[in-house]
């Protein structure tokens, strides 16, 4: 008896603005308590420089444990969710605990990416992940463990889960861009420096952008950074 293959994830999508055949695939990964309808709103903004890109925003597999209409990639109630906000020294232990959660849902996300690439006849060099908050955690976790590097990862307001296990886990090293509000009250701004350090030690190229005055969100300047990053990655 063999294990059933992991399920693929559905969600909203946007066809290339050019109206032509997709030449790039951008997968948008939403945050905790949202769903794919949240991040698909980025598609028209990013498409300004990517007219041949198709966008998909899969819904996370589980209903959110604290928001009745949202989704979650993995549980946040398995640990004290306030621990990293009370004391910055708790940031690394909290993120290490989240590694197991990211591991648990990675097969479904990988299966979804594989299915989409096959659907459009594209290779890994035509794939990019854009994440927000918990979606950034999943983007980083999955992208570093793929068989072949993708074109780029862009992460807004997120963090790197399971950094202590990273040295023995990395199989791909895509270029990474991280964007984070300096006044973020949800995911501490210090999470960006933690991710940059751990990723650099693992041999990855990381570009970071601090957004003064920004809380837990995505601003126009961040969208511009993401758009230019993806344009360069696909050029």
Quick check: is 96 catalytic? no
Contact 10, 112 (CB under 8 A): no
Mark whether 104 is an active-site residue. Answer: no
Q: Which of 56, 133, 157, 180 is catalytic?
A: 133
Q: Which of 38, 56, 141, 184 is catalytic?
A: 184
* Catalytic residue of the set 96, 114, 216, 219: 216
Query: Catalytic site residue 56?
Result: no
Per DSSP, the three-state class of 204 is coil
What are phi and psi for residue 128, nearest 5 degrees?
-135, 145
Active-site positions read 133, 184, 216
């Amino acid at each position: 008896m063999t294990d059933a293959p992991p399920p693929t994830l559905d969600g909203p999508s946007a066809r290339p603005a050019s109206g032509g055949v997709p030449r790039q695939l951008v997968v948008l990964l939403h945050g905790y308590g949202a769903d794919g309808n949240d991040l698909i709103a980025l598609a028209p903004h990013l498409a300004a420089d990517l007219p041949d890109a198709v966008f998909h925003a899969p819904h996370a597999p589980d209903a959110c444990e604290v928001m009745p209409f949202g989704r979650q990639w993995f549980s946040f109630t398995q640990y004290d969710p306030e621990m990293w906000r009370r004391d910055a020294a708790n940031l690394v232990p909290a993120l290490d605990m989240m590694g197991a959660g990211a591991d648990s849902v990675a097969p479904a996300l990988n299966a979804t990416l594989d299915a989409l690439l096959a659907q459009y006849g594209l290779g890994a060099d035509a794939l990019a992940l854009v994440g927000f908050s918990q979606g950034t955690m999943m983007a980083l976790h999955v992208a570093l463990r793929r068989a072949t590097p993708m074109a780029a990862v862009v992460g807004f307001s997120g963090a790197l889960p399971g950094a202590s296990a990273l040295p023995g886990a990395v199989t791909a090293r895509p270029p990474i861009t991280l964007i984070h509000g300096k006044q973020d009250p949800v995911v501490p701004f210090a999470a960006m420096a933690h991710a940059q350090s751990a990723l650099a030690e693992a041999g990855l190229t990381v570009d970071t952008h601090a957004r003064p005055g920004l809380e837990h969100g995505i601003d126009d300047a961040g969208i511009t950074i993401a758009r230019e990053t993806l344009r360069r990655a696909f050029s």
